[in-house]
Structure 1
Amino acid sequence: MLRTIAMGVLVGSAILLTLIVFRKKLGWAWLSLFGTHLILAALGIYIVNFSGLLTEIYIPLNPATIGAVTVLGLPGVIMLLGLKITLF
């Protein structure tokens, strides 16, 4: 029962989001901008992992870390480095 309700909410929100994107004439520019941010986030994490400056620190590439760096940019990479140093 709960799973059916959750799927209904997911499908309904997807349909409404699609209607908003096509009704407001947002185009596909936002998608290319998001893709660019996503690629730069992964590149920033790769640079930290394989630069050799901090050999004991490795930031895993997973949706949470890439999402944080996509939203926050370069300060997100620094935040992840700080968290890795202080917590682990």
Structure 2
Amino acid sequence: MRAVALGILIGSVILLGLIVFRKKLGWAWLTLFGSHLVLAALGIYIVNFSGLLTEVYIPLNPATIGTVTVLGLPGVLMLLGLKITLF
């Protein structure tokens, strides 16, 4: 099972590399993604330590940062809504 997962990971990395370099995307997408990642972490950090909602804490982990990176500010609001609704 571990060999299958490793094979899929290696295949995915190779195909992603082919897509990036064949389409001539260059490294600009990496800078854009990095800035979105930093802004997502900063947004969650501001919500956690602003003091507006003291009973709500959104952990800084790959799942929450990834959600906010993809969805932007509405992602932070979605995580807040889920946290308030479910817990």
Question: Structure 1 length normalisation: TM-score?
Answer: 0.92
Q: 3-state SS of the aligned residue for 1:61?
A: coil
- Matched with 2:55 is 56
Identity among equivalent positions (%) equals 84
Question: Structure 2 length normalisation: TM-score?
Answer: 0.93
> C-alpha separation between the residues in 1 aligned to 2:51 and 2:66?
24
Which aligned segments of 4 or more residues in structure 1 are displaced greater than 3 angstroms? none
Structure 1: unaligned runs, 5 residues or longer: none
C-alpha displacement of 1:19: 1.7
Counterpart residue type for residue 82 of structure 1: G
C-alpha displacement of 1:17: 1.3
C-alpha displacement of 1:82: 0.6
**What are the Cα deviations for residues 36-70 of structure 1, in whole angstroms up to 9, with x where unaligned?**
11011001001100101111111110111101100
Alignment coverage as a number of residue pairs: 87
